[in-house]
Amino acid sequence: MVGQGAQGGYNGGMTVSERIIREALLLPPAQRLAVIDRLWDGLAVSPEALPLSDEQRRELDRRIEAMDHDPTCGVSWEDVKSERRKQG
3-state SS assignment for residue 4: strand
Q: Can you tell me the distance from the alpha carbon of 29 to that of 1, in angstroms, rounded to the nearest whole number?
A: 35
pLDDT value of residue 81? 87
Given a cut of 60, whether residue 10 has pLDDT beyond it is no
pLDDT digits (tens, 9 = 90+) for 32-77: 999 999 998 888 888 788 889 999 999 999 999 999 999 888 888 8
pLDDT value of residue 47? 78
Backbone angles phi, psi at 13, to 5 degrees: 90, 0
pLDDT value of residue 50? 84
